[in-house]
Structure 1
Amino acid sequence: MQIYNTTVARLTYRGLLGRRRALLLFGLPGLLLVVAGAVRLLAGRDEATAVGMLGGFALATVVPLVGVIVGTGATGPEIDDGSIVYLLAKPLSRPGIVLTKLAVAAGTTIAFAAVPTYLAGLLLAGNGGRIAVAFGAAAAVASVAYAALFLFLGIVTRHAVVVGLVYALVWEGVVGSFIPGAKALSVQQWALALAQETAAAGTVTSEVGLPLASALLAVLTATATWFAVQRLRSLTLAGEA
């Protein structure tokens, strides 16, 4: 089984970097860096401010929003306009299609979310307390999980963007950040566990320990990917019927 197909990858990149999505993909990290630069000018270099902004804005808002744009855009538009039929008609394995699209989505999300998070950390705190590295790494692992989750949503529902935005803004941005009992069920908190382990002691805190967080991130990614493959197979069967 071929797990990565260059033609599928090229088509996915082309769809993701279309004019409308490209504006959002460049706009969100651009906003993060502009805000980080403004905070640095106004408040100077401060680790507490950096942790608050990177955790409360970058990891809780920018990363999941980029994940929504990229994950749902990897397959959703092809299903909506029916062009997925032409792809499924090719002699390509369904796991290979999903894994290729997941690789593209994860890489794109890392490029437009994790890398800017790292750069924002450098702007806000320099190398002090390893904050930039910690949040950059946390954003990277979160990017992979979000890519899988929103890729799955893009396959199973035509309202994936709406569902994704509700999840990103309400659950990750509000519930997962402020409601104690729900924090343990947030990708943001799972990613923060890595940031806590990477940063200087006492700099970053998470509601979930790193072993459990790592397991939950792996389970979410694997489960979403598996269900995406099954759904794509059912679409093939429906088309052939």
Structure 2
Amino acid sequence: MNELMNRTVAQLTARSLLGRRRTLLLMLLPLALLGLCTLARILAGLDPGIAAELDGPLAPDLLTAFGIAIVMPLLGLIAGTGSIGPEIDEGSIVYLLAKPLNRYTIVLTKLVVAIGVVAAFGVLPVFAAGVVLTGEVGSVTVAYAAGAFVAGVAYAAVFLCLAVITRNAVVVGLIYALIWESLVGGLVPGAQTLSIQQWSLAVAKEVFGDGAYRYGIGAAVEFSTGLVALLVVTIGATAYAGRRLQTLRLHDDS
């Protein structure tokens, strides 16, 4: 019964996330990233100076600034909030909660679907962008794909939890993604240690291995710190979302 309900919840969530309008929205960000990287590669073919930069720090800089810092948090916001937020807003969540299904199972199933969406529309395009920029499936490409994946998992969990906590999750999430993660978390030294972006860059740096700093791949935290922080935030957000869902009243119209 639980397995059947898991499958049902997953199918309903995927159908909701991959509706025509939301799919178009999900495609805009990776297309913009790939377009930018393709333009950089074309310019590199025309300018030896740009080509030299692509072989050095320019490719990591572009993947950091647009892939990790912009595309992943925004995709995580769309997938995380979209996996459960509309059901709560419309009140249709009551039909799901009325079923004999553990609340944590509901949250975990929705999170897995959200992660799948983030991987398809975020991680794969980051990987493709790395290939376009560097011309190979090399260390830069693999490192940033790994960093994008762990970032996407954490963002999806955080924003799914936010959707359970408040009906203004999209607004709050946009403020967090654009101001904290993209600006404060990327520029302010003290705040960088509390940024999913920096934690995921620590993973990318570790996957790249020796010579990361020479290629401009750096992070404000060490790999062990970043990995632990990612696990704590992901597990904590998922557990808290399940707990809040347990206390959600079926006939709460507030």
Cα deviation per residue 1:177-206 (whole Å; 9 max; x = unaligned)?
111111111001000011111224222111
Q: CA RMSD for the aligned pairs?
A: 1.6
Cα deviation per residue 1:83-124 (whole Å; 9 max; x = unaligned)?
000111111111110110011111111111111111101111
Query: Which runs of structure 1 show a deviation greater than 6 angstroms over 4 or more consecutive aligned residues?
Result: none
Report if aligned partners of 2:130, 2:141 keep a CA contact under 8 Å in 1: yes
Classify the secondary structure of the residue corresponding to 1:235. coil
Cα separation, 1, equivalents of 2:89 and 2:108: 20
Cα separation, 2, equivalents of 1:129 and 1:98: 36
Question: Any residues of structure 2 matched to 1:93-112 within 5 Å, and which?
Answer: 93-112=102-121
Which is further off, 119-128 or 58-67? 119-128
Larger Rg belongs to: 2
- Using the size of structure 2 for normalisation, the TM-score is 0.90
1:152 aligns with 2:165: no
Give how far 1:47 is off: 3.2
1:141 alignment partner AA: V
1:207 counterpart residue number: 220
1:174 counterpart residue number: 183
Cα separation, 1, equivalents of 2:9 and 2:159: 18
Structure 2 residue aligned with 1:64, among 66, 73, 90?
A: 73
- Using the size of structure 1 for normalisation, the TM-score is 0.95
1:81 aligns with 2:99: no
1:10 alignment partner AA: Q
Cα separation, 2, equivalents of 1:2 and 1:142: 29
Aligned identity (percent) is: 51
2:41 counterpart residue number: 40
Cα separation, 1, equivalents of 2:57 and 2:66: 14
Report if aligned partners of 1:88, 1:236 keep a CA contact under 8 Å in 2: no
1:91 aligns with 2:100: yes
1:21 counterpart residue number: 22
Cα separation, 1, equivalents of 2:57 and 2:138: 10
Structure 2 residue aligned with 1:119, among 128, 139, 152?
A: 128
Cα separation, 1, equivalents of 2:136 and 2:80: 31
Cα separation, 1, equivalents of 2:11 and 2:56: 40
Report if aligned partners of 1:117, 1:139 keep a CA contact under 8 Å in 2: yes
Cα deviation per residue 1:132-159 (whole Å; 9 max; x = unaligned)?
1000000001111011000001111111
Give how far 1:19 is off: 2.0
Report if aligned partners of 1:155, 1:232 keep a CA contact under 8 Å in 2: yes
